Structure 1
């Protein structure tokens, strides 16, 4: 502990007054060498794009309360904190908690959320400069809880945090929740056929058939990143995204302006896969690129073609990860259909603070039972995965 340094925490409703370099020195110190961050979602450029585009802020239900921790004049830790007026766009569902809390006469909203809006991707949430991990993390947690307590808010939620943060948060007394996603892992495949070689014969044939069906849609599939991306690509993708957003959430989470800003500040962080027919995009999948992970985020189409969703979202992502030497593809929330396509179940983590002691005890008991159920489900699903077992390998 550096006893001679005064620690101060402030909460800001905008990133406009924050130096981008100071934020990123905490959010992605690994990128100081000019390389990619572990993930782009807590970088200044990504969070600022959400804010500047109006995707978060007034009317969105996501009101920024960014936390900055200073040691003297130095920013040593930051966190993307939001006051939430609903539970949309989080992907760690607490709707049942909200209903129970309100049935008991309490007011669940607003609540506080340490998260990347609309992004179910695991990453650091307590963003600290190297050497300040323990002090910075403790200051951020204490500040979030203090803000909630002083404003008589029901709860604080830290979602899709890392394993290390989950363990540290539990030691601080936060409730630990375990959820599940499906990720594809690359042990070092030379190409897509190398991945297929590890599957059982039936699953391998199914994937080849799906790819053949998808690629016979009557056009070509292109992958674009960096300077290959042009404004007109976002015109097309916005139409896809609107259709998907309207069907899934009632309205899109991201505004049209987000994609214009992303073209200027995030295009090197993105991989857009488009199905083109007669020179026009008819479907697309948007991925974000991390240092070692490809993050599948959004999909949409204006024409339905059999298996094209699987091709653009899952198989093209696998090929991109192999080509780029990435170790993993995170394909977003939910979806047991991903299992047959090589995406295996893994645990994800969140942390929670609840003001009401009685409600906290009830949630704690619920989370204990839920963790056991998730562990059991992952074990069962893993056994149904598409990869060869020793017995299958002998038969083949």
Structure 2
């Protein structure tokens, strides 16, 4: 696929391992930018090699790589041909239903995303020294061309950066927003310092939740790096499968995925294990970024009051303060996070529809939705538990 004859070209890869890891990571996580574990070659490769994100699972890799006139990789973009809309966290079922009501076929579609990972980050990954606007325009044009060649109904870029959202919106992609809840470190010296920033009633509620989470003799351990062993992954996978089967109906990740990331990214992993009488009963898997702790998966074999809040939210805050990380992102949805100090933040996605009629209808819908999201965030911010300045 040629983006600009004689100068730049875009190639499509069915396996990320066919793109050299060093070339990919030079675009994804260059020096000078906070490290994002989810766009690293090792993470995306683990999804494919473990059988978690494959054509058989409805996530057929179609990664794009832009090379310059010297044949060097200048930019890359994770991309998948999807046969469903599971594992995305930006819900497009209304678009799919409208397409089908009109007699069209919504699937396959193209998805530029990190599978099963609702974490904001760069999606069109440009190497430093390359004109970012030009590279994005070339990758965008190539993705639209790939969608047409694949008879795909659409192309979606989900959980993009704010900068990409503005840039690609200027190229004609439809813009969408949504809300997540993130915790921000105000240079706290410890959890008690964080609690002191809360209104009295909220502070007492958090303390009570933490006490009740330990009421049954539960203790919590932090595991990272070489301290994480296969036995820990065995235990965590049992938690993940039990909770996933109840919550989603079909968990996305295979057991092999956890071993692969444990081998390749152990120093970027925080595994919080809840222990009762010396036995693991629950766990939360987090990834350590350059300035952010990302909460990803959780599961349990026993039900205890506030165990989920402690393992996923309060332990994450404790760790972020200890490591002097600026933020905690605790995953998708959840207004209940507000009372625990997690503030509403905007997430961004972009959309291209091949059908002009659907594109016009989607544009009107998204304009109204963006306005509603902005108003909702204003109201949510008023519910944050922090003390008001006198």
TM range (shorter): over 0.9
CA distance, structure 2, for counterparts of residue 248 and residue 142 of structure 1: 38
> Is the contact made by 2:105 and 2:153 (CA closer than 8 Å) also made in structure 1?
yes
Unaligned 5+ residue runs, structure 2?
none
Q: Paired residues, what number?
A: 385
Question: Are 1:101 and 2:102 matched, yes or no?
Answer: no
Aligned to 1:22: 23
Displacement of 1:4 in angstroms is 11
Aligned to 1:356: 355
Q: Report the CA distance shift for 1:125/1:24 in structure 2 as closer, same or farther (over 3 A).
A: same
Written as runs of structure 1 = structure 2, the 5 A alignment for 1:166-185 is 166-185=165-184
CA distance, structure 2, for counterparts of residue 17 and residue 150 of structure 1: 22
Written as runs of structure 1 = structure 2, the 5 A alignment for 1:180-195 is 180-195=179-194
> Is the contact made by 2:58 and 2:84 (CA closer than 8 Å) also made in structure 1?
yes
Displacement of 1:320 in angstroms is 0.7
Displacement of 1:5 in angstroms is 6.8
Deviations 1:357-393 (A, max 9, x none): 1110100000010001100110001101101113xxx
Aligned to 1:122: 120
CA distance, structure 1, for counterparts of residue 83 and residue 334 of structure 2: 27
Deviations 1:268-295 (A, max 9, x none): 1110001111221100011011000000
Aligned to 2:272: 273
CA distance, structure 2, for counterparts of residue 58 and residue 172 of structure 1: 30
Which is worse superposed, 41-50 or 210-219?
Answer: 210-219
CA distance, structure 2, for counterparts of residue 244 and residue 288 of structure 1: 19
CA distance, structure 1, for counterparts of residue 137 and residue 353 of structure 2: 17
CA distance, structure 1, for counterparts of residue 167 and residue 359 of structure 2: 19
Aligned to 2:81: 83
Aligned to 2:55: 58
Runs of 4 or more, structure 1, over 6 Å off, are none
Give the SS at the match of 1:284.
strand
Which is worse superposed, 178-187 or 215-224?
Answer: 215-224
Give the SS at the match of 1:286.
strand
Which is worse superposed, 198-207 or 13-22?
Answer: 13-22
Displacement of 1:87 in angstroms is 0.5
Aligned to 2:241: 242
Aligned to 1:42: 39
> Is the contact made by 2:55 and 2:61 (CA closer than 8 Å) also made in structure 1?
no
Displacement of 1:245 in angstroms is 1.4
CA distance, structure 2, for counterparts of residue 382 and residue 37 of structure 1: 26
Displacement of 1:37 in angstroms is 5.2
Aligned to 1:311: 310
